[in-house]
Chain A
Amino acid sequence: MVNGGAALLRFPVSPAAPGRDAEWARRGAAGDRAALEAIARAYQDRVYGLLLKLSGDPELALDLSQETFVRAFRSLKGFRGGASLGPWLLKIANNLFLDHVRAHRTESFDAWVDADPSREPAAEDPALSLFDNASDLAAALLTLPVPWRQALVLRYVEDMEYETIAEVLDVPLGTVKTWLFRGRDRLRTQLKGEAP
């Protein structure tokens, strides 16, 4: 009943271009404008798409995307040539999003953002009330604790493996699995109309 082969085909490893990216990074760090533009053009959709899925706010996603690239351009010297620029850029974007959420948090939102994997959110959590009017999966996603949301978006939108998600979110592999499992379970119960 469980088709492992199909699962593998459905989740291809993200296309990586380490040689190309390393060259762009080297030239970009030296101030080659064409290389900087190539990086931005190649990754703009992924960075923006991730931030839009995480925030649900096009304007915020645009601002944070621009900030992601600005920071990346300044830090290209620190990029290790063996890797694709994708996870590196998405890590910057994820951290910026988390910084933004933390900077704009309310007291009750605080624990929600810093969700302990074992923690069950309280019924009065503000994000849950948002779901009253939500009618699609993307909206349901926005009601999840930020770390669960980040893990799910990286898994499904970016087709990332556990290891890459762990690297991007800077957490152990086991935490990634827990966040994915809890996120999916929460969405499943919400979409069924059950109380979480």
Chain B
Amino acid sequence: MSCPTIRDRLQASLDRPLDEADRRALDTHLAGCAGCRAYQAELAALDAGLSAMPRVQAPQALMAGLEAAMDQQAAEGARRRRMPAWAWSTAAGVLVLVGLWRLAPGLAPHPIAETSPGTPTVEASGDPLLGWIDADPPGAPALLKDFDPVAEE
């Protein structure tokens, strides 16, 4: 292995164990290369220094500064939790109003129309859209199949 390769391996060995072959090649090279041994020593000192960097404690001001954000998030959560109750109340109110409207004869403007015999249904055509196209309502002009643009003019 060349010196640059050895130095790469030395760096890698700080993070993860080398495999057996790499480790043997490294040891063999280091035994005969003063420059790489010096590099190894410097790297080891740096590694120890970086590993020993002190952990710090956050100042109390951090938690104090988060109080408002936590209050706001909690308030939003509470609002969201209340939402379903509002939704249920609204839905119940609408149902009561519709029921009253249907039951009070004077309030309902027209009786609900029954489906006419010619009205296509999902069951008849299998597809409501196709049903409407296929069916020619009584008295309506024929659709595309009988349409003659020249005659129309």
- Is the pairing of A and B real? yes
Q: Which residues of A contact B (CB under 8 A)?
A: 1-2, 4-5, 7-8, 10-11, 28-33, 36-37, 40-41, 44-45, 47-49, 52-53, 58, 62, 65-66, 69-70, 73-74, 137-138, 152, 155-157, 161-162, 177, 180-181, 184-185, 187-188, 191-192
Please count the residue pairs between chain A and chain B whose beta carbons lie under 8 angstroms apart in the complex: 130
Among listed B61-69, B107-115, B145-153, interface-contacting one: B61-69
Nearest opposing residue in chain B for A33, CB measure = B74
Find out whether the CB atom of B16 lies under 8 angstroms from the CB atom of A2: no
Interface size class of B (residues with CB under 8 A): 35 or more
Closest chain-B Cβ to A45's Cβ sits at a distance in Å of 5
A-facing residues in B81-116 (Cβ within 8 Å) = 81
> What chain B residues lie within 8 Å of A2 (beta carbons)?
10, 13, 17-18, 23, 26-27
Distance, CA A62 to CA B47, complexed state (A): 28
Seed contacts A62-B59, A70-B69; 11 additional CB < 8 Å A-B pairs: A2-B26, A7-B13, A7-B16, A31-B75, A31-B78, A49-B56, A58-B59, A65-B58, A137-B50, A191-B46, A192-B42
Find out whether the CB atom of A8 lies under 8 angstroms from the CB atom of B71: no
Q: Which residues of B contact A (CB under 8 A)?
A: 8, 10-18, 23, 26-27, 30, 39-40, 42-43, 46-47, 49-51, 53, 55-59, 61-63, 65-66, 69-71, 73-78, 80-81
25 of the cross-chain contacts (CB-CB < 8 Å) are A1-B26, A1-B40, A2-B17, A2-B27, A10-B51, A30-B77, A30-B80, A30-B81, A31-B80, A33-B73, A33-B74, A36-B73, A41-B63, A44-B62, A48-B62, A49-B55, A49-B58, A62-B58, A65-B58, A66-B62, A73-B73, A137-B50, A162-B15, A181-B11, A188-B46
